[in-house]
Amino acid sequence: MELPSYFDGDKPILTDSLVAYLDALGTQQRAQNLDNESLAADLEIIREFRHILDRQDLKVRSQQFAAFTDNVVLAAPVDGFSVARQLRFMITSVAHYQLGTTLSGQPIRGGISRGFFFANDELVTGPALIKSVLMEEHAATNPRVLLDAGCYESIIPDGTRDNRTTGNGVQWADALLVDGDGLLFVNYLLANDRVTVPAEVDSRLTRHRELIDDWLTEFRSQPAILDKYIWMADYHNYVQREFFPDHSIFVTDIPRSNHQARVFSRVTKFPLDHAPTELMESG
């Protein structure tokens, strides 16, 4: 079986790809204060999730990654058969990674885009990477990983290549959420396959809440940073309420000041009633 490639023989080529760019919050400060212990912890996170991030053996899962400082680039050349399936696998990979880093005390944000890209062991580059970087820097703002318009349109089948998602948002209902600004983002709290095990749910939500409580306290006097963790608290409470109604592990002490609680919504069908194309392209 011929796997998708960034080469035509020996010639490097820009290839239609799905590209995720992920960045840990506070990268500059972390890098400046890096010591051997935190370096080892960072490497352990990469090693733990490498089997999910770096899959080049299966066609629909042919994705590879590169890591530098606290940033990760994850890419998969589009194979032309089922872009939606490839995207779903990438979203699952990103969700697992985001959940793992967040519960390790290192929240991330980022963007996933579709466009031309090139990668080998020496270089990662291309317009899709730039778009994902700009989404992370200018649109994500909070600890969320956004999807661009190209990804959104890839979910909507064109009737000739992949009709598995026609009028059906069920397979995306847990993987994605719509934020109050209309942008699609990865619902990382539902990443783990064992979310139906009560003890696992309690453990995950409790750890997530404890970290948010700590960050809300730590950054209470820094409004610009605090707002990111208020967003995270609202996200946590929404997932708790919508997906785990039998549990009661809410973030309660949220220093809102003039902030209203964020409004999220579930994906119930595609296309969405209000396509987020314009907002996503602005990122």
Which run of H or E residues covers position 115? strand 108-119
The answer to the question of residue 259 being in a domain is: no
Report how many domains make up the chain.
1
3-state per-residue secondary structure call for 226-252: HHHHHHHHHHHHHHHHHHCCCCCCCCC
The answer to the question of residue 236 being in a domain is: no
The answer to the question of residue 5 being in a domain is: no
Report d(CA 113, CA 129) in Å as an integer.
8
Q: How far is CA 92 from CA 88, 217, 246, in A?
A: 6, 31, 25
185: domain CATH number is: 3.30.70.1230
The domain of 30 spans 10-191+264-282
Which parts of 172-213 are beta strand (E)?
A: 176-178, 184-186
Closest CA to 269 of 165, 124, 157: 165
Q: Which residues face 7 on adjacent strands?
A: 12
The answer to the question of residue 220 being in a domain is: no
Q: What is the pTM of this model?
A: 0.86
The answer to the question of residue 20 being in a domain is: yes
The answer to the question of residue 201 being in a domain is: no
3-state per-residue secondary structure call for 26-78: CHHHHHHCCCHHHHHHHHHHHHHHHHHHCECCCCCCCEEEEEECCEEEEEEEC
Per-residue pLDDT of the chain (283 residues; tens, 9 = 90+): 344 578 888 899 999 999 999 998 876 666 677 788 877 877 777 777 666 666 544 544 557 778 776 789 999 988 766 788 889 889 988 998 899 889 989 899 999 999 999 988 888 899 999 999 999 999 999 999 999 988 988 887 543 344 444 444 556 778 999 999 889 999 999 886 556 677 888 899 999 999 999 999 999 999 999 999 999 999 999 999 999 888 899 999 999 877 688 999 988 776 676 665 444 444 4
Six-digit token string for 200:
């696992």
The answer to the question of residue 162 being in a domain is: yes
The answer to the question of residue 135 being in a domain is: yes
